[in-house]
């Protein structure tokens, strides 16, 4: 008999806040997420006439962004009716390799038929980028009926320190109140300074998808499952949708092997 010594599925359900979409490998997890995003885009454009999508940076979602462009299954994603937002941004020019918008522009914007006025980069090098972006968000979402004036789909990742978006452990943005965007600076922020969506904005969204892949995320994932840390120490625990849904996209390789 052939012995399979690759990752195996966890022997009990993963205790995460939200729905767990667990797949055998990264490719399958990304495929499931792409299909979910696609269905949400169709449903929202049917119901509201448009789709407000917010994407993150980091390396994990790159294959997803490519897949959305080359896979025929997603070719008719309604980009013409999509507003594209950026979850967080480093305070660098868009042509800097660290710029999230630069990456998303190169992988998605320049290969889709999304109208340029529906692409919303964070003006991270300008004065008060958080306030400016917040105003743009409010201006665009106010066209929606009350109650539907929220982001439709927010894609998040998780750092090995448990940060999500640019909400770093013990950083000022964790305590931002009454604002949708925050300029996060100071010693707790991994340089350069960041502009980030706040918990308030993310948690109000219709759908939050967290994509976490790779062995190096096992430990933080285990901490999320234990739920013992504070939001200050493990910011991703602050992702608590108000009325929307939270889905985790994971593969076997990312699952902790010693679940308590
Ligand atoms: C960013 C992010 C950030 C990211 C995590 C995970 O711009 O870096 O928005 O929150 O999702 O750091 O990054 P990796 O996917 O590279 O592990």
Domain 31-254 class, CATH top level: alpha beta
Q: Which atom of ligand 1 is nearest to the CA of 61?
A: 15
pLDDT of residue 162: 97
pLDDT at 123: 97
**Partners of 23 in beta bridges:** 251
From first to last of its 260 residues, the chain has per-residue pLDDT tens of 555 667 888 888 889 999 999 999 999 999 999 999 999 999 999 999 999 999 999 999 999 999 999 999 998 999 999 999 999 999 999 999 999 999 999 999 999 999 999 999 999 999 999 999 999 999 999 988 888 899 999 999 999 999 999 999 999 999 999 999 999 999 999 999 999 999 999 999 999 999 999 999 999 999 999 999 999 999 999 999 999 999 999 999 999 887 66
Q: Give the residue whose CA is nearest to atom 7 of ligand 1.
A: 57
Establish whether residue 159 lines the binding site of ligand 1, counting it when its CB lies within 6 angstroms of any ligand atom: yes
pLDDT score of 8: 84
Sketch the domain layout of the chain as residue ranges.
31-254
Q: Are strands 88-90 and 119-120 parallel, antiparallel or unpaired?
A: unpaired
Q: What is the pLDDT of residues 125-149, one digit of tens each?
A: 999 999 999 999 999 999 888 888 9
Question: Which residues sit opposite 83 in a β-bridge?
Answer: 52
Dihedral (Cα; 60, 42, 117, 92), 10-degree rounding: -10
| Residue 190 near ligand 1, beta carbon < 6 Å | no
CA of 3 to the centre of ligand 1 (A): 35
Q: Is the CB of 212 under 6 A from ligand 1?
A: no
Question: In which element (H, E) is residue 33 found?
Answer: helix 26-48
CB-ligand 1 contact for 219 (6 Å cutoff)? no
Q: Report DSSP state, residue 155.
A: E
Residue in the structure block whose two tokens are 């917040």: 134
Structural tokens at position 166: 């640019």
Residues 6+ positions from 125 with CB-CB distance below 8 Å: 91, 92, 93
**Do the Cβ atoms of 182 and 167 come closer than 8 Å?**
no
Structure tokens at 29: 């997890």
CB proximity list for 136: less than 8 A, separation 6 or greater: 120
pLDDT of residue 13: 83
Task: Check residue 1 and give its pLDDT.
Answer: 55
Give the chain's radius of gyration (CA, Å): 18
């Amino acid at each position: 008999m052939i012995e399979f010594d690759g990752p195996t599925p966890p022997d009990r359900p993963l205790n995460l806040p939200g729905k767990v979409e667990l797949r055998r490998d990264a490719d399958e997890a990304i495929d499931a997420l792409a299909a979910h995003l696609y269905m949400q885009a169709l449903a929202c454009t049917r119901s509201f006439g448009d789709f407000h999508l917010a994407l993150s940076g980091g390396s994990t979602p790159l294959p997803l962004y490519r897949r959305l462009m080359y896979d025929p299954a997603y070719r008719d994603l309604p980009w013409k009716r999509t507003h594209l937002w950026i979850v967080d941004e480093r305070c660098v020019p868009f042509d800097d390799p660290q710029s999230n918008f630069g990456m998303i522009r190169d992988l998605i914007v320049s290969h889709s038929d999304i109208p340029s006025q529906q692409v919303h980069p964070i003006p991270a090098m300008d004065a008060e980028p958080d306030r400016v972006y917040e105003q743009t968000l409010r201006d665009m979402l106010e066209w929606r009926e009350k109650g539907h004036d929220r982001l439709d789909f927010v894609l998040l990742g998780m750092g090995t320190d448990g940060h999500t978006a640019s909400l770093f452990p013990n950083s000022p943005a964790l305590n931002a109140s009454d604002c949708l965007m925050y300029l996060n600076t100071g010693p707790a922020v991994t340089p350069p300074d960041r502009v980030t969506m706040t918990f308030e904005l993310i948690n109000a969204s219709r759908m939050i998808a967290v994509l976490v892949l790779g062995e190096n995320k096992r430990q933080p994932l285990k901490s999320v499952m234990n739920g013992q840390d504070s939001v200050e120490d493990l910011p991703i625990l602050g992702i608590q949708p108000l009325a929307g849904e939270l889905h985790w996209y994971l593969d076997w390789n990312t699952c902790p092997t010693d679940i308590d």
